[in-house]
Amino acid sequence: YNERARMIKKLPGPPDDFIVGNGLRIIKSSVDVMKVRREYAKKWNGIYRIWAYPFGAVLVFNPEDVELIMSSMKYGEKSIIYTILKPWLQDGLLLSNGAKWQERRKILTPAFHFNILRQFCDIIQENTQRFLEKLEQTAGQDVDVVPLLSEYTLNSICETAMGTQLSEDLTGTVQSYKQAIYDLGYVFCQRFIRIYLYPETVFNLTSLGRMQKRSVKTVKNFTEDVIKQRRDYVEQYGFHTIGDNNDSEEVFVYKKKKKTAMLDLLLSAEKEGLIDKTGIQEEVDTFMFEGHDTTASGLTFMFMLLAHHKDVQDKIVEELKELLGDSERWLTMDDLAKMKYMERCIKESLRIYPPVHFISRKLNETTVLSGYQVPADTLCHIPIYDMHHREDLFEDPERFDPDRFLPENSAGRHPYAYIPFSAGPRNCIGQKFAMLEMKIAVAEVLRKFELKPVTKPSEIEFIADLVLRNNGPVKVNFVKRK
Ligand code: HEM
């Protein structure tokens, strides 16, 4: 009942219970908590608050407020809920703040330069061909795309950014890594809604605390192996450079040399004393997770949608035919840039199913949002999913309509109404990489297969996790084209 509480309670939100405020109302199962969030978002369209003593949170999904928060570094600091991820991602780019974040972002930005992505394109293509062979083995059957796509995207990030191929004898380790990521997402969400688990000493005594400890160990063992493999390679052969035979392709990475793998960049920064071993580990942990789980989620829902929209598949195939005729060559970056219809389909899928459905910032000063005074230190959550599903921003929001992204239909839309990759200075560093990978996967799969529907969008039940996931398999039937 202090001043901060009184200010927060002026915002619309669920009714309070004595002392605990809304704290008990949000302790739900992973599925129910997502349903409650949707109910609240529909009821208080644009802004509402949750007061759970001693924390106040405001959920902001009015584009004007979102712009205010995201467009400058004034609110660039991540909120306290991300500290739950610290034992795993430590001070990697996703979690770090201030000068450390700035320095790291400067080191890592060149790793996703256009010319480097051009080199990655071939590597992703090779991986895609292996993925297609896997699909061929189950052609005509109902398959759960979730594990297949997670393997596909994990291989892509390892072979490109990390410069390491995951060999067959690592299959067991890879499985444990993926399971550990699921477990860490589960622990994060369970702890997030249970404020009494915020103190470390209490949390460490619980089964969730023990689960986190085990999972962090598994994840770190795996990423340590990836770093070691590349370190050994670099020691033996030197940094893998590109553009040596073609000066027009020259890429100046971190002021001088040219390197492909992101990990090479970090190893070379280590030599210059700009980052240490721990720093490399935290960035590799961050990029391995952000670089595969998000894209896998995006592709999962994209394939489900395509399976239910044969007309959309036909249009993409038509676009491919116009571009390639009867040629069986691989698609290049230039081809993909011309596939405007397919790009609209991916954008629309990321609107309906944004893989990163929720982000959070710290308000470090009292801020006016939607006309309400929100006190300093309030957690400022941005539920991207709820904004993308606002009826007044996207008419008939559940309908899959790629033409929403035609230039004439996007004109007048608020630039912060659609933010699957976040926006502003702390936006997604891997956005172009993710779009490239998704385009290659969609185009190459549709060249070979027609997708038939199995799991229906109406059957999807989200579970609370770091990325958008269904509570169960997402099945599609891939039928080989003649
Ligand atoms: C469809 C795929 C992807 C989506 C939807 C996505 C979305 C996002 C979003 C919304 C954020 C902001 C997070 C926040 O503020 O808490 C973010 C940050 C980030 N993403 Fe992605 N991402 C994707 C793919 C990738 C890939 C492929 C990589 C790496 C290769 C990557 C690396 C990162 C990193 C390192 C950050 C933190 C950036 C910073 O704070 O400076 N993401 N991403």
414-453 pLDDT tens trace: 999 999 999 999 999 999 999 999 999 999 999 999 999 9
By the 8 A CB rule, do 475 and 453 touch?
A: no
Is there an atom of ligand 1 within 6 Å of 70 CB?
A: no
Q: How far apart are CA 153 and CA 173, in angstroms?
A: 16
Is there an atom of ligand 1 within 6 Å of 421 CB?
A: yes
User: Which residue's CA is the nearest one to ligand 1's atom 37?
Assistant: 94
Is there an atom of ligand 1 within 6 Å of 189 CB?
A: no
Q: Identify which of 302, 280, 298, 278 has the alpha carbon closest to the alpha carbon of residue 290.
A: 298
pLDDT at site 22: 84
Q: State the complex-level ipTM.
A: 0.99
What are the residues facing 462 on neighbouring strands? Answer: 470
Å from CA of 264 to ligand 1 middle: 20
Q: How far apart are CA 353 and CA 367, in angstroms?
A: 30
Confidence of residue 2 (pLDDT cuts 50, 70, 90): confident
Residue 36 φ/ψ, nearest 5 degrees = -60, -40
Q: Which atom of ligand 1 is nearest to the CA of 161?
A: 30
Q: How far apart are CA 264 and CA 240, in angstroms?
A: 8
Query: pLDDT tens digit string along 400-409?
Result: 999 999 999 9
Query: CB neighbours of 280 closer than 8 A, spacing ≥ 6?
Result: 227, 263, 266, 267, 270
Query: pLDDT tens digit string along 207-254?
Result: 999 999 999 999 999 999 999 988 988 888 777 655 444 444 444 443
By the 8 A CB rule, do 193 and 32 touch?
A: no
pLDDT at site 352: 98
Å from CA of 430 to ligand 1 middle: 6
Q: Which atom of ligand 1 is nearest to the CA of 435?
A: 1
Is there an atom of ligand 1 within 6 Å of 260 CB?
A: no
Q: Ligand 1 pocket: which of 290, 293, 360 to mutate (most atoms <8 Å of CB)?
A: 290
pLDDT at site 195: 83
Q: How far apart are CA 436 and CA 124, in angstroms?
A: 9
Which tokens hold the place of 137? 């083995």
Q: How far apart are CA 404 and CA 390, in angstroms?
A: 14
Å from CA of 351 to ligand 1 middle: 15
pLDDT at site 468: 97
Confidence of residue 154 (pLDDT cuts 50, 70, 90): very high
pLDDT at site 240: 61
The pLDDT > 90 percentage for the chain reads 74
pLDDT at site 317: 98
Q: How far apart are CA 60 and CA 62, in angstroms?
A: 6
Which tokens hold the place of 39? 């109910």
Å from CA of 28 to ligand 1 middle: 27
pLDDT over threshold 90, residue 17: no
As a whole number, mean pLDDT of residues 365-372 equals 96
Count helices and strands (H / E) in the chain: 19, 11
Is there an atom of ligand 1 within 6 Å of 355 CB?
A: yes
User: Which residue's CA is the nearest one to ligand 1's atom 16?
Assistant: 359
pLDDT at site 241: 56
What are the residues facing 234 on neighbouring strands? Answer: none
Q: 370 or 76: which carries more pLDDT confidence?
A: 370
pLDDT at site 260: 64
Q: Which atom of ligand 1 is nearest to the CA of 359?
A: 16
Question: Which of the given ranges, 104-108, 242-246, 256-260, has the highest pLDDT on average?
Answer: 104-108
Å from CA of 105 to ligand 1 middle: 12
Å from CA of 427 to ligand 1 middle: 7
Is there an atom of ligand 1 within 6 Å of 383 CB?
A: no
Q: Identify which of 79, 108, 107, 110 has the alpha carbon closest to the alpha carbon of residue 95.
A: 79
Q: Which atom of ligand 1 is nearest to the CA of 101?
A: 41
Q: How far apart are CA 23 and CA 21, in angstroms?
A: 6
Q: Which atom of ligand 1 is nearest to the CA of 384?
A: 10
By the 8 A CB rule, do 433 and 112 touch?
A: yes
pLDDT over threshold 90, residue 169: no
CATH number belonging to the domain at 88-357+400-480, selected among 3.40.50.280, 3.40.50.300, 3.10.580.10, 1.10.630.10: 1.10.630.10
Say if residue 380 carries a ligand binding annotation: no
As a whole number, mean pLDDT of residues 188-194 equals 89
Q: How far apart are CA 310 and CA 313, in angstroms?
A: 5
Q: Identify which of 438, 352, 441 has the alpha carbon closest to the alpha carbon of residue 400.
A: 352
The pLDDT > 70 percentage for the chain reads 95
Burial class of residue 423 in the structure, from the number of CB atoms within 10 Å of its CB (0-12 exposed, 13-18 middle, 19+ buried): middle
Indicate the average pLDDT of the chain: 91
Longest alpha-carbon distance in the chain: 71
Å from CA of 124 to ligand 1 middle: 19
Query: pLDDT tens digit string along 314-354?
Result: 999 999 999 999 999 999 999 999 999 999 999 999 999 99
Kindly list the domain boundaries of the chain, sorted by start residue: 88-357+400-480
As a whole number, mean pLDDT of residues 111-136 equals 92
By the 8 A CB rule, do 400 and 305 touch?
A: yes
Å from CA of 355 to ligand 1 middle: 10
Q: How far apart are CA 340 and CA 274, in angstroms?
A: 41
Query: pLDDT tens digit string along 73-102?
Result: 999 899 988 989 999 999 999 999 999 999
Q: How far apart are CA 455 and CA 473, in angstroms?
A: 8
pLDDT at site 250: 43
Q: How far apart are CA 87 and CA 448, in angstroms?
A: 43
Q: Which atom of ligand 1 is nearest to the CA of 112?
A: 30
Is there an atom of ligand 1 within 6 Å of 96 CB?
A: no
Q: 250 or 296: which carries more pLDDT confidence?
A: 296
pLDDT over threshold 60, residue 28: yes
